[in-house]
Amino acid sequence: MSAGGRAAPRDTGALAVLRRLAAAPAPVAAAPGEQCELCATEVAAEHRHVVDLERRTILCACRPCWLLFPEGVKTRYRAVPERHLFFPGFALPGPQWDALEIPVGLAFFFHSSPTDRVVALYPGPAGATESELPLAAWDDVVAGNPQLGQARSDVEALFVTALSGAVPRCWLVPIDRCYELVGRLRQVWRGFDGGAEARAVLADFTDDVAARSRPAERGSAR
């Protein structure tokens, strides 16, 4: 899973949230009797989430509460969408990936409204690490793949794999899926590159994302 490059971890609010969530079970699997964190109604095992922009946390939500915060509504909460997209023809030459300074072969990228910057997060033995992302390098990736601009701030992430010997791939996923994978990998990570069990978890996650995804439309609007 390793790839060349360097990274400078930052203990920011977004990173702290990811670490807390990664230390817990995957958020999509609710415990019996778990409640909506907005109205206290009991939620099903498979339920939706909303992002609290002020606290930078993800909250479990029942379907009615989730529907209260559609795209474009200006509140502190934003519903995490359900869509999964893949990007046919995604191009990421080796030098461009190296310029992003991600030390493992996968990462999630999302635009944070509170900080007005693109955040790059990658998994490891301690959970999630935030990379000091060179913005010019990321701009080069988007310039070569303008469809990536369809990702919605705060609630959707671009899941990029650049594994050794494999063609780079990219999907747009709900932000809670980022937390899900980080948490699952943290539980099985061994050694520097994660080990065989981590690779199996990644393969299972990638297969599920691919099965849920449809081709992204052309264009760059969020």
Q: What is the pLDDT of residues 110-161, one digit of tens each?
A: 998 888 889 898 887 777 788 777 778 899 999 999 999 999 999 999 999 9
pLDDT reported for residue 33: 59
The Cα 174–Cα 8 span in angstroms is: 25
pLDDT reported for residue 46: 84
pLDDT reported for residue 136: 85
pTM for the full model? 0.79
pLDDT reported for residue 55: 85
pLDDT reported for residue 22: 43
169-216 per-position pLDDT tens digit? 999 999 999 888 988 888 888 877 778 898 899 999 999 999 999 999
pLDDT reported for residue 86: 95
The Cα 183–Cα 219 span in angstroms is: 32
Q: Please give the average per-residue pLDDT across 89-104, as a whole number.
A: 90
55-87 per-position pLDDT tens digit? 888 999 999 999 999 877 778 899 999 999 999
Q: What is the 3-state secondary structure (H, E, C) of the chain?
A: CECCCCCCCCCCHHHHHHHHHHCCCCCCCCCCCCECCCCCCECCCCCEEEEECCCCEEEEECHHHHCCCCCCCCCCEEECCCCCEECCCCCCCHHHHHHCCCCECEEEEEEECCCCEEEEEEEECCEEEEECCCHHHHHHHHHHCHHHHHCCCCCEEEEEECCCCCCCEEEEEEHHHHHHHHHHHHHHCECCCEHHHHHHHHHHHHHHHHHHCEECCCCCCC
